[in-house]
Amino acid sequence: MGQLIDGKAVSKEIKTSVASEVEELKKSGITPGLAVVLVGSDPASRTYVTNKEKDCASVGIYSEEYALPETTSQKELLDLVHTLNAKKTIHGILVQLPLPKGLEEEEVIQTIHPLKDVDAFHPENVGRIMIGNCRFLPCTPAGIMELIHHEGISAEGKRCVVVGRSNIVGKPMAMLLLHENGTVTICHSKTKDLKKICLEADILVAAVGRPKFITADMVKPGAVVIDVGMDRDENGKLCGDVDFSEVQHVASRITPVPGGVGPMTRAMLLKNTITAAKIQNGIPVL
């Protein structure tokens, strides 16, 4: 039976260390601040934003919420981002995606100042991830690397397979594993022989968005399995991209859903906000 990788417990440790960093920064007169922008009334996005604010409060980070109506124009949204770029008390800006139809996400992302881009979606920060000179790491892949490190797992020389090639998870995940000397394959919906490729993986990351997509016959015995998915099963219950009940018997270690990658993503946003506050105040980031 595979050992559980407890993202909830690891994220708690990270939050404790972030809270003590916030305390230190406050002694120097710096209160890290995060602005979260929500456009429209999508219930999932609303929940994410509320959770982000709660997380900030729990570690002493100042947060501001901007809840804009669905009818917000591109110009109004960009004007708000410009205002937040200039605001001294705000070190990190997060615009909750996806945006309602009619708004241009790419332009909004590119308008966020790269030093305040705590999601690491700005092309400048994406480029830095490619060259391995990151300022901020995208929250989900960074959280996964923290989990892997915490477990004492090294990617070096390992066969790593990432299923999914989104800009927010799959691609940066593959880059981070590559920077740590993994031999990485990225799979997607056009990949042939997916099962065969997955079976080669020592570290298998599933970021597909399909409930229980990775089945036990796709997993090499003893592999480390990381499940990014946040899906709903046939009964509407939260589940991952991995068929956990079966795969746990094959994997050596596995993240559960919930309680695996999700809490790590949330913790990494807090870490990025501290990093942003330090960079903007000329404090070295260790």
Shortest distance, position 7 Cβ to ligand NAP, whole Å:
9
List active site positions: 52, 96, 119
Q: Rounded to an integer, what distance in angstroms lies between the CA atom of residue 43 and that of residue 214?
A: 28
Residue closer to ligand NAP by CB (options 54, 188) is 188
SS (H, E, C) 39-69: ECCCHHHHHHHHHHHHHHHHHCCEEEEEEEC
Structure tokens at 114: 């790269």
Q: Which tokens is 240 given?
A: 């991952």
Tell me the HSE value of 24 on the side-chain side, using a 13 A CA sphere.
Answer: 10
Q: How far apart are CA 251 and CA 216, in angstroms?
A: 9
Answer yes or no whether residue 99 interacts with ligand NAP by CB under 6 A.
no
Tell which positions 205-234 bind ligand NAP, by CB under 6 A. Answer: 207-210, 228-231
Using CB under 6 A as the binding rule, the residues of this chain from 174 to 203 that contact ligand NAP are 187-191, 194
Residue burial 21-54, b: 16+ Cβ < 10 Å; e: rest = bbeebeeeebebbbbbbbbbebeebeebbeebbe
Give me the 257-276 binding string for ligand NAP, x by CB under 6 A, dash otherwise. Answer: ----xx--x-----------
Task: Decide: is 147 part of the binding site for ligand NAP (CB under 6 A).
Answer: no
Provide the minimum distance between the beta carbon of 15 and ligand NAP in the complex, in angstroms, as a whole number: 15
Closer residue to ligand NAP, CB minimum distance, 90 or 206? 206
**What are the residues binding ligand NAP (CB under 6 A)?**
140, 163-166, 168-170, 187-191, 194, 207-210, 228-231, 261-262, 265
